[in-house]
Structure 1
Amino acid sequence: METTPAPTAKRGRGRPRKDSEFISLSKELLGQKALEIAGTEGYSALTMHRLASELGVTPRALYNYVADRGEVINLAMQQFMSLSPTLDFDAEHWKDGVRDAYLATRAAYRSYPRASLLSMDEKVHAVPGPRRTELVERLLKFYVETGLTLKQATSMTRALERDVLGFVLHVDYFYDRRTSDSDYVLNHPVPKPWLDDYPEIPAPYAREALELPEQNSDELFDEVIELRVLAIERLLERNSETSVAED
């Protein structure tokens, strides 16, 4: 007796592909995977098709959780902001606080070095969520309690982001991907091969600097923190001198 085969069940909207393991989607998972893509490869690599492929689902499945790619980018930004821990600052030990803030920010940026390039790579309006406001407010409060004016505290808060982002992109990014024959690029103001390419250019100080001890990226970052601490010390001294003069 001939029988009619049962029809194949259609995969409903939002289900994973047949060739993938079952995965339970959520906005948090989409944001995390989007951050992994954008943070290591740049936002141009973050497409709905790429994200769906990484998660083992169809692009259509993603739209059960997000309206469009712009929302995915915002989820990635919010995930990125959540990497920075809430630090307990102590104004009496402000040097430790500055160091902790710099190290925590560096750790977040270093994990996903290209996540902060949103304004350069994208034209979408990013909404980083409340976390950024909380972190900035806490840092401003710490600097003011240390003895800086609000204007100075604002400058130092901006400086932290510039210092760390610049270091991660110009030093950590290459240090973490370096080869044995490329260390010279990081350790000298002008690497020896570059000096040798233009022997007609007098550069006695740059050549003398080649003799200085080589440093790893952590030691180089310590210099960044030290310079910023020295700047804050000078501001505090100047504020104290101004206060005495006014009295």
Structure 2
Amino acid sequence: MGKLTAHAIVERALEIGDTEGLDAVTIRRLATDLGVTPMALYWHFKNKEQLLVGMADHLISGFAPEPADDRSWQCQLRDLAEGLIRVLRRYPCAKNVLAQVDQAAVPSFLAVWDQALGLAREAGFSMEESCLISKYLLQSAIAIADAPVHFSSGRTPEEIAELVRVKRLGLESLPADRYPNLVEMAGPMVEGMRPGFYDTFGVDLVLTGIEALATARRNPASEVVDTT
């Protein structure tokens, strides 16, 4: 093969992580797959911790946040969340990778995080509130991106169908007098949602809460309930 690059290493590491899990991602395994000695990989990544950071940076680098523009902060924050979801959705192991690294050590994640902080400040939140809002928003995007991918990762359509059938029967067989809603909604709970609905509703849920809170900050009187 040609000159070994960090890009080739993390691409192969993500492929292994997607199909076999992160425990299977080792320097020795990568060296074997890439046809090089382990020392060749150590030139780029001295240990697995550095490799995981490189993987995290690579999987997010496909999403470059747009520079601040004249659109409302709501529109820009939505674009940020939806863009992050799209790029993470490509990698079934994305959530696990991000959970195992210090996200502040991932340059591409820092760019997304910094923009989320700036947009929260533009919405009128304090620095302390902006820190929490950016954290909740980004972690929600990671969770939204992971759920349907994690469910189907490494399984054939037949295996997925059987898993869904078993999970649905499990919920439907619960005592209806004790768990009436779980029994009634067993189908949509395990069979998935309409294409696109899962993502858009998840983002709507998070952003609507942020927008409502921002409005309350600007108009404190709106929090007072008229009881006359």
Moved more, 196-205 or 53-62: 196-205
C-alpha distance in structure 2 between counterparts of 1:67 and 1:236, whole Å: 45
- The equivalent of 2:117 in structure 1 is 140
Contact 1:143 1:153 in 2 (8 A): yes
Asked if the contact 1:39/1:112 (under 8 Å) is kept, the reply is yes
Higher mean displacement: 75-84 or 88-97? 88-97
In structure 2, what is the Cα distance between the partners aligned to 1:85 and 1:197? 47
Q: Tell me how far 1:235 sits from its aligned partner.
A: 0.7
* Structure 2 unmatched ranges of 5 or more: 224-228
1:206 aligns to what SS in structure 2?
A: helix
- Residue 40 of structure 2 is matched in structure 1 by 61
Query: Which residue matches 1:205?
Result: 181
Give the conservation status (yes or no) of the 8 Å contact 1:35–1:79: no
TM-score where L is the length of structure 1: 0.70
Q: Gaps (5+ residues) in structure 1? A: 1-21
- 1:218 corresponds to 2:180: no
Q: Report the alpha carbon displacement of residue 92 of structure 1 after superposing the two structures with TM.
A: 4.3
Residue 106 (structure 1) shift: 1.0
Match of 1:241 in 2: 219
Distance of aligned partners of 1:23 and 1:185 in 2 relative to their CA distance in 1, 3 Å threshold: same
Q: How does 1:99-118 map to 2 (within 5 A)?
A: 99-118=78-97
The one-letter amino acid paired with 1:239 is R
Partner of 2:129, secondary structure, is: helix
Amino acid paired to 1:81: I
- Quick check: 1:73–1:126 contact (8 Å CA) kept in 2? no
Q: Distance in 2 between matches of 1:181 and 1:39?
A: 17
Partner Cα separation in structure 2 for residue 180 and residue 63 of structure 1: 41
Q: Cα RMSD between the aligned structures?
A: 3.5
For residue 224 of structure 1, report the CA deviation from its aligned partner: 0.8
Give the direction of change, closer, same or farther, for the CA distance of 1:98–1:200 in structure 2 (3 Å limit). same
Offset from partner CA, 1:36-56 (integer Å, 9 cap, x none): 333553321111221112212
Conserved in 2, the CA contact under 8 Å of 1:175 and 1:217?
Answer: no
Residues 180/133 of structure 1: CA separation in 2 closer, same or farther (3 Å cut): same
The answer to which of 156-165 and 31-40 deviates more is 31-40
Q: Determine the structure 1 residue equivalent to 2:226.
A: none
Corresponding letter in the other structure for 2:73: W
Q: CA offsets per residue over residues 26-79 of structure 1, 9 Å max, x none?
A: 223223322333355332111122111221223343344443444333322332
Take 1:181 and 1:40, find their aligned partners in 2: how far apart are those partners? 15
Give percent identity, aligned residues only.
Answer: 21
Q: Report deviation, 1:111.
A: 1.7
State the alpha-carbon separation in 2 of the partners of residues 197 and 68 from structure 1.
48
Structure with the higher fraction of residues in helix conformation: 2
Output the amino acid matched with 1:202: R
